Chains A and B, each alone.
Chain A
Amino acid sequence: MLASLTSVASALAQADGFERPAVDWHALAPELVVTGVLCLVLVADLFLPEDRKALLPSLAGLGLLGALVPVLTLAVDGADRLMFGGAYAVDDFALVLKALFLVAGYVTVLQSTNYIAEGDYAEGEYYFLLLSSILGMLVMASARDLITIFVALEMLSIPAYLLAGWRKRDRKGNEAGVKYYLMGVFASGVLLYGMSLVYGVAGSTKLVDIGEALATGESIPMITLAVVFCIAGFGFKVSAVPFHTWAPDTYEGSPTPITAFLSVSSKAAGFVALLELIVIGFAGQTEVVRPLIWVLAVLSMTIGNVVALRQTNLVRMLAYSGISQAGFILAPLAVVGQIGSTTLTSVVTYLLIYAAMNLGAFTVVMAVARRTGSAEITSFGGLFNYAPALAVLMSVFLFSLAGIPPLGGWLAKFVAFRAVVDAGTGWAYGLAVVMAINSVIALAYYANVAKEMWMNPAPDGDHTRVHVPVSLAAALAITAALTLGFGVTNWATELGDAATFVASAVP
């Protein structure tokens, strides 16, 4: 140990003229703001009396909105910034995704406010961990280097493991945490192994260098293995079949705001990493990537859907529906390299719309569960009679997830279809038909919930009103406005189209 330290020291001494890398503070401002706020939350938690803890979620929420300001100024500024030898990029792609993570994180805070305050949970640590995880996602959006990607992944995952098991007095809560942790760590191992193989072949951890080194088009078994392991590693994160087995149990056992967080933000972060790896690092290996993703996409869509049909618990159903949606998000990656930049546009567009509608659906679940204390689908019976607004909103989110125009989801599905059909190959058309059939199957279980809300009587004829706290109402307003707005305007597609990698970071 000592010997190795001294050797490092001597190596540093030999490297003459060591210069501190220039730090672009503006570019790092979003991360710095979140870092500052998460420290503040932790400290404030120490000194706040029990009855003033309600300040913590406000602080966390404001911090996330505050971090949005530098994202906007950077977007207005428009310059692509590459830092730390190209390992960290603040380009349009990073900015769009950072905005997504911050807004989605803000909605998560809104969702958590009452849930955590009323449920006898530790509050300060909760928001501290939530912000840490979001910070990891912000880093992920900018990571252009294997090590940065891995650090970002762990930074967003480890707090999430803890948050998933937050209901520690509940057996399902423990199961959720442990399952997620074990599977996640295993996935990290797989990913690391893949990355080490990539490094072995390419001789660099920077994605752009890897892209150039692997661009030979040659099919070397070791490269294939490396690509497969890397994609499999993130397959866990995005809960693609067959790496999805943790999702339903974890979703069911986690606190509902965290379930929403895992199924939206954490999944989006996984897709961000996949995009970075596939579009930049493995740009020359699309022959390997395409069939692999094709299979993952078809399996995720189909199995996710078929299993979702059988669910009686809404949160579990949403978990499986999320698996199926992941299949749709993956689909354009199955034709990557054949259609230019459309892959990137369609995946990002889908992620934006998916975040809005899925967070919205979970918010309604939380609002209703406050009264019924249950997430069973039957507990939604008669919702339209005693809480028509919630029923209408839930229908909006569910049918949006099903892809019925003019709600946002149709546009997400459409851009995915468009990207796939654009490739024009037989495999692509086959995938498009599988997608078409799956969107019909999906409707069956989304409509089943709508049926329960609109057409069935309330269980036990209980018609007490649902009290929706302000924070949940705000979350509903944000998600509903985005879900509807994305469906009839060009906002989502324009953002998706703008999200491009800095040119110098793409081989």
Chain B
Amino acid sequence: MDNNQFLSDWGLTIMVFLPLAGALVMLLIPRTEEHLHRTLALVVTLATAGIGAAVLADFDYNASETLQFVVNKPWIDVINARYAIGIDGLSVPLIGLTLLIMPLCVIYSWNHFPEPRNPKAFLILLLVLHTGMLGTFVAQDLILFFVFFEVVLLPMYFLIGVWGGEQRQYASIKFFLFTLFGSALMIVSFLALFFVTGGDTFVIPDLIRLVPESDISRTTMLLIFGGMFLGFGIKVPMFPFHTWLPDAHTQAPTVGSVILAAILLKLGTYGFIRVAIPILPEAAVSWAPWIGGLAVIGIIYGALACLAQTDMKRLIAFSSVSHMGFTMLGIATLTDFGLNAAVMGMVAHGLITGMLFFLAGSVKERYHTLDIKRLGGILLKAPRMGWILGFTAMASLGLPGLAGFWGEFPAILSSYQPAPGLSDVTFRVYMVVAAVGTVFAAGYLLWLYQRTAFGTPTDEFVDADIPDVTFPEWIAWVPMLVLILVIGVYPNLVFHVTDGQMTAVADWVANMGS
């Protein structure tokens, strides 16, 4: 067996389960060995990233619409669940994002673990989360997908609930219950899909092939899509299911917020593009106007809510609702253009909002408050951090030349011409509304920046000792900042990877959906 063969057979599996193995090893090491735990967690996340990098380097980018590194083995025969994994142009950017963010989170936590500390438990949960997220992005079997999709719930629940802020208990259980509600109905949908296609398989590519061959009534398809819509839509989160997000984000520890924003929310949008739309294109076309409508409501609602926030972290959380609205709008157009924009939006939002939450965490650590009124003059007290905040805020509001632009602008543009079968007029209205949303975005982000970074420090912090960016922070942030810039200047870095697969999905919908 040569090297490449080994990589293509085992690469993904090792990448997914290495963090879990690391977590098991850490379970056996006593809690007092804090340094060992940190080092081990860093080594494991870096090793995972290394294996991931080897896989991604071996990926054939000219055939990104075909599944690669496919492994398809029986798993639980009696329920027809298979261990089917593989990656294509949709998974690659998100796996890359996950592989990047996790080591950075470990580095960022290096010497400021939130209360009640306990690095052992904290890092073990991060590693379990790591496995869950990577698994979701490689799973090609609905049951496997569902299991990984749910695996992330428990660690996140504990991260928020144990290491979170004042209202952590409320926020953590709200997060858990909302998501579980969605996934409970989602699993019913998966089962219904399984049985209406003949009860043979849960493997996604097979289901995509089987659905047009099976005689499924339109109502059934719409209902099945509806169940998936709830499952994924709550995770995204789409208006009006977003109410868990501000609480979870605000209360979560910094690293928890970063992972939540950067990766967990993407599980929802990923689910739409990976599962719901290709399997049920007809239902997708019927649902698309509603999804698009909710998306633009989300954009405007999120932006308006941002303008009313007094807490920096809560403001960023609501900006997530708004930004994910753009992503969902791109998805709702069901065109290759829109879908590409959506994936780009996911990556950009992951980097930018992840970065904003890092910054919010660092501000909180220095000022012990995130009350925007009490902050101010960060540029004077900690100039480097102030500039980084400015850079990230600009990226977030969609300044051309930075990553955020390539997520928002094409999504808006794509709704000028949605997929065949969708009403141009409706989507053009959405386009206008979404465009107005970008103005609001500029408004609340500039306003945030103005009130926190400009001016002079408030009286209580005039003489306070506010250290500038520390060494671990530099290491954690520089890769993200560089990527925001690089993708902004050369968006093809992402588009080239995703385009093949997104075109395939859009063509499939265009052929099947109308």
Choose one: B75, B151, B161, B199; the contact of A451 (CB below 8 Å). B161
Which residues of A are found within 8 Å of B173, using beta-carbon distances? 444, 447-448, 451
The residue on B at minimum CB distance from A436 is B184
A406: interface (CB < 8 Å): yes
Q: Given A421-B191, A451-B161, A490–B76 Cβ distance below 8 Å?
A: yes
Report whether B146 and A418 are in contact in the complex, using a CB–CB cutoff of 8 Å. Answer: no
Choose one: A421, A433, A493; the contact of B76 (CB below 8 Å). A493
Report whether A404 and B150 are in contact in the complex, using a CB–CB cutoff of 8 Å. Answer: yes
B78: interface (CB < 8 Å): yes
B192: interface (CB < 8 Å): yes
Report whether A440 and B147 are in contact in the complex, using a CB–CB cutoff of 8 Å. Answer: no
Which residues of A are found within 8 Å of B508, using beta-carbon distances? none
Report whether B192 and A414 are in contact in the complex, using a CB–CB cutoff of 8 Å. Answer: no
Report whether B169 and A455 are in contact in the complex, using a CB–CB cutoff of 8 Å. Answer: yes
Taking chain B's interface residues, is the majority helix, strand, or loop, or is none over half, making it mixed? Answer: helix
Task: Please give the distance in Å from A47's CB to the nearest CB on chain B.
Answer: 45
Report whether A433 and B121 are in contact in the complex, using a CB–CB cutoff of 8 Å. Answer: no
Bound: A440/B177 CA distance, A: 6
Q: Show 12 residue pairs from A and B whose CB-CB distance is below 8 angstroms, ordered by the A residue.
A: A405-B146, A417-B187, A417-B188, A429-B192, A433-B185, A433-B188, A437-B181, A439-B184, A447-B157, A455-B161, A455-B168, A493-B77
Report whether A439 and B147 are in contact in the complex, using a CB–CB cutoff of 8 Å. Answer: no
Task: Please give the distance in Å from A56's CB to the nearest CB on chain B.
Answer: 35
Closest 8 CB pairs of A and B: A493-B78, A436-B184, A405-B147, A421-B191, A405-B150, A490-B76, A497-B78, A440-B181
From residue 143 to 170 of chain A, which have CB atoms closer than 8 A to chain B?
none
B222: interface (CB < 8 Å): no
Which residues of A are found within 8 Å of B143, using beta-carbon distances? 414
A residues engaging B (CB < 8 A)? 345, 349, 384-385, 388, 395, 399, 404-406, 410-411, 414-415, 417-418, 421-422, 424, 429, 432-433, 436-437, 439-440, 443-444, 447-448, 450-451, 454-455, 489-490, 493-494, 496-497
Interface centre among A384, A388, A422, A436 (most CB of B within 10 A): A436
B154: interface (CB < 8 Å): yes
Annotate B45-67 by CB proximity to A: 1 below 8 A, 0 otherwise.
Answer: 00000000000000000000000
Task: Please give the distance in Å from A435's CB to the nearest CB on chain B.
Answer: 8
B218: interface (CB < 8 Å): no
Report whether B188 and A436 are in contact in the complex, using a CB–CB cutoff of 8 Å. Answer: yes
Report whether A447 and B187 are in contact in the complex, using a CB–CB cutoff of 8 Å. Answer: no
Report whether A496 and B161 are in contact in the complex, using a CB–CB cutoff of 8 Å. Answer: no
Q: Given A451-B161, A490-B75, A443–B147 Cβ distance below 8 Å?
A: no
Report whether A454 and B78 are in contact in the complex, using a CB–CB cutoff of 8 Å. Answer: no
Task: Please give the distance in Å from A488's CB to the nearest CB on chain B.
Answer: 8
B162: interface (CB < 8 Å): yes
Q: Given A417-B191, A418-B191, A455-B169, A443–B180 Cβ distance below 8 Å?
A: yes
Report whether A422 and B195 are in contact in the complex, using a CB–CB cutoff of 8 Å. Answer: yes
Which residues of A are found within 8 Å of B493, using beta-carbon distances? none
The size bracket of the interface on B is: 35 or more
B439: interface (CB < 8 Å): no
Report whether B151 and A405 are in contact in the complex, using a CB–CB cutoff of 8 Å. Answer: yes
Which residues of A are found within 8 Å of B157, using beta-carbon distances? 447, 450
Task: Please give the distance in Å from A238's CB to the nearest CB on chain B.
Answer: 24
B158: interface (CB < 8 Å): yes
Choose one: A410, A432, A440, A450; the contact of B150 (CB below 8 Å). A410
The residue on B at minimum CB distance from A385 is B116
Annotate B394-409 by CB proximity to A: 1 below 8 A, 0 otherwise.
Answer: 0000000000000000
Bound: A77/B369 CA distance, A: 71
Report whether B147 and A406 are in contact in the complex, using a CB–CB cutoff of 8 Å. Answer: yes
Bound: A176/B206 CA distance, A: 55
The residue on A at minimum CB distance from B75 is A490
B176: interface (CB < 8 Å): yes
Bound: A138/B105 CA distance, A: 54
Report whether B161 and A454 are in contact in the complex, using a CB–CB cutoff of 8 Å. Answer: yes
Q: Given A432-B188, A454-B161, A422–B78 Cβ distance below 8 Å?
A: no
B127: interface (CB < 8 Å): no
Report whether A388 and B161 are in contact in the complex, using a CB–CB cutoff of 8 Å. Answer: no
B436: interface (CB < 8 Å): no
B366: interface (CB < 8 Å): no
Bound: A417/B143 CA distance, A: 13
B31: interface (CB < 8 Å): yes
Given contacts A404-B154, A437-B184, A489-B76, 6 further A-B contacts (CB under 8 A): A404-B153, A410-B150, A411-B79, A424-B195, A440-B180, A454-B162
Bound: A496/B194 CA distance, A: 20
Bound: A439/B157 CA distance, A: 17
B residues engaging A (CB < 8 A)? 31, 75-79, 116, 121, 143, 146-148, 150-151, 153-154, 157-158, 161-162, 168-169, 172-173, 176-177, 180-181, 184-185, 187-188, 191-192, 194-195, 199
Bound: A450/B169 CA distance, A: 11
Task: Please give the distance in Å from B13's CB to the nearest CB on chain A.
Answer: 13
Task: Please give the distance in Å from B149's CB to the nearest CB on chain A.
Answer: 8
Report whether A421 and B192 are in contact in the complex, using a CB–CB cutoff of 8 Å. Answer: yes
Which residues of B are found within 8 Å of A451, using beta-carbon distances? 161, 169, 172-173
Task: Please give the distance in Å from A453's CB to the nearest CB on chain B.
Answer: 10
Which residues of B are found within 8 Å of A395, using beta-carbon distances? 154
The residue on B at minimum CB distance from A497 is B78
Task: Please give the distance in Å from A123's CB to the nearest CB on chain B.
Answer: 36
Which residues of B are found within 8 Å of A405, using beta-carbon distances? 146-148, 150-151
Interface centre among A417, A422, A455, A489 (most CB of B within 10 A): A455
Bound: A504/B176 CA distance, A: 49
Choose one: B31, B79, B161, B185; the contact of A414 (CB below 8 Å). B79
Q: Given A404-B153, A436-B185, A444-B173, A490–B195 Cβ distance below 8 Å?
A: no
Bound: A424/B172 CA distance, A: 36
Which residues of B are found within 8 Å of A436, using beta-carbon distances? 184-185, 187-188
Which residues of A are found within 8 Å of B147, using beta-carbon distances? 405-406, 410
Report whether A444 and B177 are in contact in the complex, using a CB–CB cutoff of 8 Å. Answer: yes
Which residues of B are found within 8 Å of A417, using beta-carbon distances? 187-188, 191
Bound: A96/B434 CA distance, A: 60
Which residues of B are found within 8 Å of A439, using beta-carbon distances? 180, 184
Which residues of B are found within 8 Å of A450, using beta-carbon distances? 157
Report whether A421 and B161 are in contact in the complex, using a CB–CB cutoff of 8 Å. Answer: no
Which residues of B are found within 8 Å of A454, using beta-carbon distances? 158, 161-162
Which residues of B are found within 8 Å of A415, using beta-carbon distances? 78-79
The residue on B at minimum CB distance from A439 is B184
Which residues of B are found within 8 Å of A411, using beta-carbon distances? 76, 79
The residue on B at minimum CB distance from A496 is B78
Bound: A344/B213 CA distance, A: 31
Report whether B79 and A418 are in contact in the complex, using a CB–CB cutoff of 8 Å. Answer: yes
The residue on B at minimum CB distance from A443 is B180
Which residues of A are found within 8 Å of B168, using beta-carbon distances? 455
Which residues of B are found within 8 Å of A424, using beta-carbon distances? 195
Which residues of B are found within 8 Å of A418, using beta-carbon distances? 79, 191, 194
Report whether A399 and B154 are in contact in the complex, using a CB–CB cutoff of 8 Å. Answer: yes
Report whether A443 and B176 are in contact in the complex, using a CB–CB cutoff of 8 Å. Answer: yes
The residue on B at minimum CB distance from A421 is B191
Task: Please give the distance in Å from B212's CB to the nearest CB on chain A.
Answer: 20
Which residues of A are found within 8 Å of B76, using beta-carbon distances? 411, 489-490, 493
Bound: A337/B367 CA distance, A: 66
Which residues of B are found within 8 Å of A388, using beta-carbon distances? 31, 121
Bound: A404/B151 CA distance, A: 7
Task: Please give the distance in Å from B25's CB to the nearest CB on chain A.
Answer: 15
Bound: A430/B151 CA distance, A: 27
Bound: A87/B153 CA distance, A: 49
Interface centre among B78, B153, B157 (most CB of A within 10 A): B78
The residue on A at minimum CB distance from B192 is A421
The residue on B at minimum CB distance from A457 is B116
Bound: A447/B153 CA distance, A: 12
Choose one: A345, A440, A489; the contact of B184 (CB below 8 Å). A440
Q: Given A406-B151, A436-B188, A493-B77, A422–B121 Cβ distance below 8 Å?
A: no
Bound: A433/B78 CA distance, A: 23
Which residues of B are found within 8 Å of A384, using beta-carbon distances? 121, 162
Bound: A493/B77 CA distance, A: 8
Bound: A433/B185 CA distance, A: 7
